[in-house]
Each structure stands twice: as C-alpha cells, then as structure tokens.
Amino acid sequence: MKLYLALGVSSGDLVAFAGAGGKSSAIRMIAAELSRDGMKILVAPTTKMMVSEVEEMGPLVTSKDPKELRVSIKDAFSGSGVVVAGGGLISKGRVDGIPPDSFGSLMDLADVILVEADGSRHRPLKGTADHEPAIPDASTLVVAVGNIRALGKPVDEENVHRPQVFSDLTGIALGQSVTARAFAHALAAGSLGKTPPDAQPAVLITGVEPGRSMADASVVTREIWRLGVKRVVLSSLTQEFPGRVWIP
C-alpha cells in the first residue's frame, strides 16, 4: 500500500508533519509516490530542514519575499514534479522555514503541499514545546510521527528530544521507561495539540516490522484510538527500502 493513500492524502491537501522519528523520510516517500501518480508536489518547512534531506526530492528555491518565492516555485515546476521551497539557506546546511501564514497563497501552485512543522534532532520521540509545532492554518491534514523503537526506552536525551518537556506532558519521570500510553499521549496531545479545527489528525508510527515491533505498535495504536485519533498508519520507513505500510 502507498503511504499517501494509507494516510488519506489527496489532491488539494496541505499536509503538516510534526513529531519525531521519520518526518523527513515520510515526506520524501509521499512526495515520490504522488509525483509518480502524476501530481505536482511542493515541499517546505515552517521551521528548518537539512539541505541533505531535501536535495534529492527536486529543485530547491528560496526567498524571503513571498511574491518572489511564488514566482520561483512556479518556474521550478516547469522542469520537475516536486519542488522544495524555503525562506533561505542558513548555517549548518539548513533551509530556513516559510512562515505558516504564507501557505494559503501557495495552495494553487501544487496539487499537494507537504510541510515539516517542527524538529526533533533525529530522536525517535519528542516532547513538544509550547511554541511547536508551527502548523499552517491552511492545513487539511496533520500527521504526528513517532518511531516505535522509543517504546520501553528511558526518557533521556538519547531517546527523546526535549525529555523534560516529554516528562511534564506525559507524567513519566526522567530516566523511567516510555510506556505505550505516554508514547500515544506525546503524539495526540503534543504533536497534534495545535491541529487547526478544519484539519484531520492522523498518526504515523515508524520503525515497524513484522514481529515484536509490530506487536508494540499495535499496543500504542490502541492507546491512540482511546485518545480519539482514529487514523493510525504503521510503516517500516527505512532509508534503504521504500518502506512497507500497514493500517491496523
């Protein structure tokens, strides 16, 4: 199954991804799937993305001026089905974000817009700070992402981005193990906590393979359902393989 179909992405959508453990990989996979199916895809961060994470998707255009950026995006689509846009190139090989309120004026340029709405420093799970995620009001779907390998691991800097924030949100003390309920709460109340009223929420659990991780993901899924988020998708989502997808 294609990941975009499992998540319910369709033409006209603006999809914001928040959380940890595979946002950029999910965006790359979905952009490739949609492009192969004949759609034009715009990829952009509202915070920051690594150039190395986006350079293989399509041409990168940047500008601080909204009108100039719009023209550059339109021109770039003449030669590619996927375009990556940002506010500019900044230090440490990163692309600066586009303000969330600017996306409404870009909706007509692409069939689907994919937005990375926060960062996680490559940790499998995160605590969502008060200023996060930076989700455009024009979003139609918000996808919270978490990697199942964080389940059962200690709440610390190695396994959780902003462990103290995660602890405050979930009630799991620093150094204690991440429970299924805490994993689910971090996604439903943290990553999805600022979902616009008209947008649909969804959860993508990554790092899943048949066996133990699938069983763990099933336990987390039940907790997510209890919190009112009905659309949950599981995926292997590895760099080496396009990624297998399951709907529990």
Burial class (CB in 10 A: 0-12, 13-18, 19+), 148: buried
Mean pLDDT of the chain: 95
Within a domain: 100:
no
Which residues make beta-bridge pairs with 113? 14, 42
How many domains does one find in the chain? Answer: 1
Q: For residue range 152-168, list pLDDT tens digits in order.
A: 999 999 999 999 999 99
Residues 26 and 30: their CA atoms lie apart, in Å, by 6
Within a domain: 72:
no
168 phi-psi bin (left φ>0, alpha ψ -120 to 50, beta other):
alpha
* pLDDT for 239 beyond 60: no
**Domain extent at residue 136:** 3-40+109-246
Query: Could you give the count of Cα atoms lying within 13 Å of 43 in the half-sphere of its Cβ?
Result: 32
Tokens at 75, concatenated: 């021109």
Within a domain: 139:
yes
86 within 8 A of 71, measured Cβ to Cβ: no
Residues 62 and 241: their CA atoms lie apart, in Å, by 30
Specify the CATH number for the domain of residue 209.
3.40.50
Within a domain: 224:
yes
206 within 8 A of 148, measured Cβ to Cβ: yes
Within a domain: 214:
yes
DSSP assigned state of 220: H
Beta strand ranges found along 1-70 (DSSP E): 14-19, 41-45, 48-50, 60-62
Q: For residue range 166-220, list pLDDT tens digits in order.
A: 999 999 999 999 999 999 999 999 999 999 999 999 999 999 999 999 999 999 9
pLDDT at 55: 82
Within a domain: 133:
yes
Residues 25 and 96: their CA atoms lie apart, in Å, by 18
173 within 8 A of 155, measured Cβ to Cβ: yes
**Whole-number Cα distances in Å, 154 to 19, 42, 182, 218:** 18, 37, 12, 20
**Whole-number Cα distances in Å, 24 to 21, 27, 92, 220, 234:** 9, 5, 17, 22, 16
Within a domain: 87:
no
Within a domain: 168:
yes
Confidence (pTM): 0.96
* Phi, psi at 124, each rounded to 5°: -75, -20
* pLDDT for 80 beyond 60: yes
